Structure 1
């Protein structure tokens, strides 16, 4: 289970986990999940890790529909930062 699922259960927040068989060759996890679960891309969300103000240690998580694209300027504004950019791949692997 993911840390998010564990935290949700610990907080006693109602949760339904939708499982599917992951394909190791997949490069677009959101599209794979939507297809495997028989859902539209607009019904599945992705979590994205961004770094703020050119500081790789200042990170935030953004959630967006799989069908959409994260607006980094709007993300920075919402987080009261001057700039938001996708976090380095090495950092995303540990998030």
Structure 2
């Protein structure tokens, strides 16, 4: 497994301090984010999952704790829209350049509006996908939000 991905390169270029954590990815896991948390021995609330969505038909990215579900109405409202829905996996892969299970908010092929769940800031550091299945990066949530130019809001 390569520990250099578009995501880690984007973080390096932004001058962000982070560590890389590889784990055994389980493609059959019911909930990928929870499986990642268990595999790296982290609180599921501090392991953030990256979800690709459509808000009024326009792509966006939302980052929430792996043990929570995004509230699509709150998300749409945060981005000034009326309705949000999950993006189809094939569309998410095409837009981001990453495979489902390895979608990172960093280094996506096309930059889209990003929202980060505000509860992530309750942790000094969080884990986020590092750009491939079985790879997480650990960093300060404030560094992640700044690098992503993310809106921080309650969306769960």
- TM-score bracket for this pair, using the shorter chain length: 0.7 to 0.9
- After TM superposition, give the deviation of residue 46 of structure 1 in Å: 0.2
Q: Name 1:32's counterpart in structure 2.
A: 35
Is residue 2:26 matched to residue 1:20?
no
3-state SS of 2:10 partner: helix
Q: Distance in 2 between matches of 1:62 and 1:22?
A: 22
Q: Distance in 2 between matches of 1:7 and 1:23?
A: 26
Q: Name 2:59's counterpart in structure 1.
A: 59
Q: Within 5 Å, give how 1:34-53 maps onto structure 2.
A: 34-53=37-56
Q: Distance in 2 between matches of 1:62 and 1:13?
A: 20
3-state SS of 1:18 partner: strand
Q: Name 1:72's counterpart in structure 2.
A: 72
Larger radius of gyration: 1
Identify the structure with bigger relative contact order (alpha carbons < 8 Å, sequence gap 6+): 2
- After TM superposition, give the deviation of residue 27 of structure 1 in Å: 4.3
Q: Distance in 1 between matches of 2:83 and 2:27?
A: 33
Residues 1:2 and 1:70: Cα distance change in structure 2 (over 3 Å):
farther
Q: What TM-score do the two structures reach when normalised by structure 1?
A: 0.85
Dislocated runs of 4+, deviation >6 Å: none
